[in-house]
Structure 1
Amino acid sequence: MAQADKSAEGRPFREGTPPMIRMMLLIILFMIMLFSLVANVVGERSGGRRINVIDEFGRGVTNTFNSADRIAPDLSGAIGKVDEGIGKLARLGAGGGEASGFTAATMNISNANFTGVQAAKSVFAGVQINKTQFVGALLDDASFEGAAGAAPNFTKARLANANFTAAQVPGADFSGATLHSAAMRAGDFSGANFAAADLTAASLSGSDLSKAVVTKAFAPGGLFVDTVADGADFTGADLRAAKFTNASLRDVKFAAADLAGAEFTGAKLQGADLTAANGLTAEQLQGACGDASTKLPHGYGLTACQ
């Protein structure tokens, strides 16, 4: 047993060294020897100097670390910019503050509080905004394109010319918000609250407004082309010259809504209630369709939907 131990001491590797590591070390050693032999043979035949492979290897390692030292300041600067952006977002999320042009694209800011923040022209494209608070925020020209999250709160926020194209924000609260000329096309605003919101010339074409509350909203010239607004409530809304072309308006309430000049060509009005609408003429309903449950002003008629 003692003889076995003594023999082991003379070996270059301990028995505990993994076979794979031993194999790799042997291959590396062999490659160094082979490179040394070839380099020196070539050097002798060409009249050049002999190469000390170990020295060359050491110089290569040194150059590598020197390159890393040169890169480090740039890398540090990049990391600093990331930290600065995260810190800026954190300060905004605490509520208040000004950050015009701030970008938070592709980030998750769910449950953050941006109440009263001044962030016009900021980019929140693709953000996650579940229950995020933007109450009273100044967000004119901001982009929320492709943003997603349930019940974000934009109560009384200023969002003129904002971009909510393809946003998925069911249950969002836009009550009292200014959305003048906002682009809200092809989004999910089902169950959203637009009560008393300014939707002048806003475009919600192709969006889902099912069961949305649009009561007393100011939306002259609003575009609701191809919109699905089944069960929505437009009671008391100003919808003068609004376009509901090809919209699905099943069971919609238009009581006391101003529909002067509104267009309903191709609209489906099954179960809709237009009995107390203001400014509506029979001619405006030509090209629309309904069913027996549609409620119309006295003397008006509709083609049955197929």
Structure 2
Amino acid sequence: MAQADKSAEGRPFREGTPLMIRMMLLIILFMIMLFSLVANVVGERSGGRRINVIDEFGRGVTNTFNSADRIAPDLSGAIGKVDEGIGKLARLGAGGGEASGFTAATMNISNANFTGVQAAKSVFAGVQINKTQFVGALLDDASFEGAAGAAPNFTKARLANANFTAAQVPGADFSGATLHSAAMRAGDFSGANFAAADLTAASLSGSDLSKAVVTKAFAPGGLFVDTVADGADFTGADLRAAKFTNASLRDVKFAAADLAGAEFTGAKLQGADLTAANGLTAEQLQGACGDASTKLPHGYGLTACQ
């Protein structure tokens, strides 16, 4: 009995479907006839020609298909360019080749291998680069603005004038990298490794450099304004004429660092160790503040931080 009921429930749908189609066709035909009547009446009263709506309808369909034929080559070309870009990205990921000006914006290229690639002026803005390898890559003038990912590897990469503004790359490895005049403002470089990197005139203002390793880095004229570098290690770094204005430098190590001409106005140096810094004068610390745990060269003093 249940099977009969199920069949009865299904029958109206199967039988009603052709009826619905016929009704829709009749409605369409009626609308065409009505439009034809109105168009011809208007045409007669205005002295215009009579209109064959069926012909006009057919002509419109033909024009539509002709337009599709014209658009198809452009669409095919666009798809081809996408395929070409994906192919180029795949070749870069294999660790070889030259692709200056390449664009990979907003892509997820985490764990990819770009070791040794030559991709100057390329755009990697907004990319995901978790553990992505850029070891020894040529990336001068490249843009990584807004890029995000933990521990990407830029060891010994060339990144002169590169843009890392607002990049979120904690634990990144820039050891031995060339970052001359790089823009690295307002980014997260906490725990990053800049050992022996060239940071000449680079700007890390407003960035997080907490616990970063900047040992033996070459950074004359570097900008660290408003930077949070708590616990960072600048041992042996060349920081001549660098600006640490209003920076947070708690527990920072400056042993054997060259601080000649460096500016510390407004800097907070609680717990920082400057005892073995080179080129530092008492005047440079005027306007900075510290606490009882700050270690200073003999005879130097600091205002207590509020």
Q: CA deviation at 1:70?
A: 1.0
Q: CA deviation at 1:57?
A: 1.6
CA deviation map 1:41-63 (0-9, x unaligned): 34455566544332322221111
Counterpart CA distance in 2 for 1:34 and 1:264 is 85
Counterpart CA distance in 1 for 2:296 and 2:162 is 36
Cα–Cα, structure 1 residues 10 and 81, in superposed 2: closer, same or farther, change >3 Å?
Answer: closer
Q: CA deviation at 1:23?
A: 5.7
Residue 261 (structure 1) aligns with: 261
Q: Which runs of 5+ in 2 are unaligned?
A: none
Q: CA deviation at 1:218?
A: 1.0
Q: CA deviation at 1:303?
A: 0.2
Structure-2-length-normalised TM-score? 0.91
Cα–Cα, structure 1 residues 294 and 6, in superposed 2: closer, same or farther, change >3 Å?
Answer: closer
Cα–Cα, structure 1 residues 78 and 53, in superposed 2: closer, same or farther, change >3 Å?
Answer: same
Residue 41 (structure 1) aligns with: 41
Q: CA deviation at 1:16?
A: 2.6
Q: CA deviation at 1:167?
A: 1.1
Residue aligned with 2:12, SS: coil
Q: CA deviation at 1:114?
A: 0.5
The residue correspondences of 1:92-103 to structure 2 (distance < 5 A) are 92-103=92-103
Q: CA deviation at 1:113?
A: 0.7
Counterpart CA distance in 2 for 1:50 and 1:8 is 52
Cα–Cα, structure 1 residues 39 and 9, in superposed 2: closer, same or farther, change >3 Å?
Answer: farther
Is the contact between residue 8 and residue 14 of structure 1 (CA under 8 Å) also seen in structure 2? no
Q: CA deviation at 1:220?
A: 1.2
Cα–Cα, structure 1 residues 234 and 11, in superposed 2: closer, same or farther, change >3 Å?
Answer: closer
Is the contact between residue 211 and residue 229 of structure 1 (CA under 8 Å) also seen in structure 2? yes
Q: After alignment, is 44-53 or 1-10 more displaced?
A: 1-10
Cα–Cα, structure 1 residues 214 and 2, in superposed 2: closer, same or farther, change >3 Å?
Answer: closer
Q: CA deviation at 1:24?
A: 4.3
CA deviation map 1:100-121 (0-9, x unaligned): 1112222221111100001111
The residue correspondences of 1:60-139 to structure 2 (distance < 5 A) are 60-139=60-139
Cα–Cα, structure 1 residues 106 and 19, in superposed 2: closer, same or farther, change >3 Å?
Answer: farther
Cα–Cα, structure 1 residues 95 and 47, in superposed 2: closer, same or farther, change >3 Å?
Answer: same
- Does residue 176 of the first structure (1) align with residue 176 of the second (2)? yes
Cα–Cα, structure 1 residues 5 and 56, in superposed 2: closer, same or farther, change >3 Å?
Answer: farther
Cα–Cα, structure 1 residues 45 and 13, in superposed 2: closer, same or farther, change >3 Å?
Answer: farther
Is the contact between residue 13 and residue 22 of structure 1 (CA under 8 Å) also seen in structure 2? no
Percent identity reads: 100
Residue aligned with 2:13, SS: coil
Is the contact between residue 139 and residue 162 of structure 1 (CA under 8 Å) also seen in structure 2? yes
Residue 235 (structure 1) aligns with: 235
Q: CA deviation at 1:152?
A: 0.8
CA deviation map 1:197-219 (0-9, x unaligned): 11111111111101111111111
Cα–Cα, structure 1 residues 149 and 219, in superposed 2: closer, same or farther, change >3 Å?
Answer: same
CA deviation map 1:13-65 (0-9, x unaligned): 97331887666444323211211222333445556654433232222111111
Q: CA deviation at 1:194?
A: 0.3
Structure-1-length-normalised TM-score? 0.91
Is the contact between residue 151 and residue 172 of structure 1 (CA under 8 Å) also seen in structure 2? yes
Residue 204 (structure 2) aligns with: 204
Q: After alignment, is 46-55 or 188-197 more displaced?
A: 46-55
CA deviation map 1:69-96 (0-9, x unaligned): 1111111111111111111111111112
Is the contact between residue 241 and residue 260 of structure 1 (CA under 8 Å) also seen in structure 2? yes
Q: After alignment, is 24-33 or 241-250 more displaced?
A: 24-33
Q: After alignment, is 1-10 or 137-146 more displaced?
A: 1-10
Counterpart CA distance in 2 for 1:249 and 1:44 is 89
Cα–Cα, structure 1 residues 7 and 27, in superposed 2: closer, same or farther, change >3 Å?
Answer: farther
Cα–Cα, structure 1 residues 282 and 19, in superposed 2: closer, same or farther, change >3 Å?
Answer: farther
